[in-house]
Amino acid sequence: MSNKFSSRTWMQLLSTVKAVLVISVLTVFLGIPQTLLAESASAILKGAPEQAISAWEAGLLEITFIDVGKGDAILLHLPDGRFAMIDTGYEQTAKKVVQTIRALGATRLDLVVLTHHDKDHVGGYPHIVEEFPIGKVVQSYDFRDKKKTVLVQPGTDLVDEGGVVLSVLGPWKSYEDENDASLVTRLAFGKIAFLFPGDVVNKAQSDLLNRNLDLHADVLKVPHHGRYLGFSPRPFFMAVKSRFAVITSDEPNGEMPEGSVLRMLQESGNTVLRTDRLGTIRFLTDGKKLSYQTEFGGSM
């Protein structure tokens, strides 16, 4: 798949509806005319009801890594039509996240997974709660919205319907490091799998490996935005055996991702996809084949 917007079209969108740029790549993925995109973007800009423009159709799984800089905000559109979310990004990127969720057709989030309390993962949560009805919030320890929050243990299936299984793999114990305490989940749909390990590094990665869990995934959300602080993730990468590695990062900080981490990912056979270079990244699968599209033109 190679359809792309011209650079002029991207610049027009950047100047008018920057927060919902993801709409453009989704329409290209379906082959929807650019005129339709322009009309929809204009309607949103003028305050008209937002129109959902999405490549998803019943029976497909769509995973969207929303570009929020060095943070995570991952939207899951399940084959049965429901939406779920893993982390919510920063408070300052919440508006973009909300607009993107709406642009992808969601009016409700049946499940929100909060991996840990760092502001780049849960800062946008209060805004998400204000904008969308939420079915259930899950995490590995208490959070501010205790009425909705459910604490989960490894081995729990958060979703097990329509051929999709979203399983909790960790944490198995308490950690002093907030990152190591991240809730780790794996989503399987047919022959395709995604691994969402939050920011686990150091001890938590070793513990996951020692438990002989099924960590294999076609797509890995690289932990801690590609920064390991001297700890080698090579054994973890080799166990996951992913084809695609998504790094949610913000290049200007100059610290993430680390060059050594990029080399290890490439040496283990990954195509590395970075939000700081490619913008929002979206995967679509029928459980057999897997394709992706990026905000700034890359596709497969």
pLDDT-derived band of residue 261, with 50, 70 and 90 as boundaries? Answer: confident
Least confident of 24-28, 78-82, 189-193: 24-28
How many other CB atoms sit within 10 Å of the CB of residue 267? Answer: 11
Highest mean pLDDT among 37-51, 110-124, 148-162, 218-232: 110-124
pLDDT of residue 146: 55
Question: Per-domain residue ranges for the chain?
Answer: 7-294
The two three-digit tokens of residue 50, written as one number: 């937002």
- Cβ-contact 71, 97 below 8 angstroms: no
Token pair belonging to 193: 């799998």
Q: Select the more confidently predicted residue: 217 or 25.
A: 217
Tell me the fold of 7-294: Metallo-beta-lactamase; Chain A (3.60.15)
**Please, what is the average pLDDT of the chain?**
79
| pLDDT at residue 2 tops 50 | no
Q: Is the pLDDT of residue 10 over 80?
A: no
| pTM of this prediction exceeds 0.85 | no
For 97-111, 138-152, 185-199, 269-283, which range has the lowest pLDDT when averaged over its residues? Answer: 138-152
Q: Which residues contact 297 (CB under 8 A, 6 or more apart)?
A: 4, 5, 278
The pLDDT tens digits of the residues spanning 75-126 come to: 999 999 999 999 999 999 999 999 999 999 999 999 999 998 888 889 999 9
Q: What's the pLDDT at 257?
A: 80
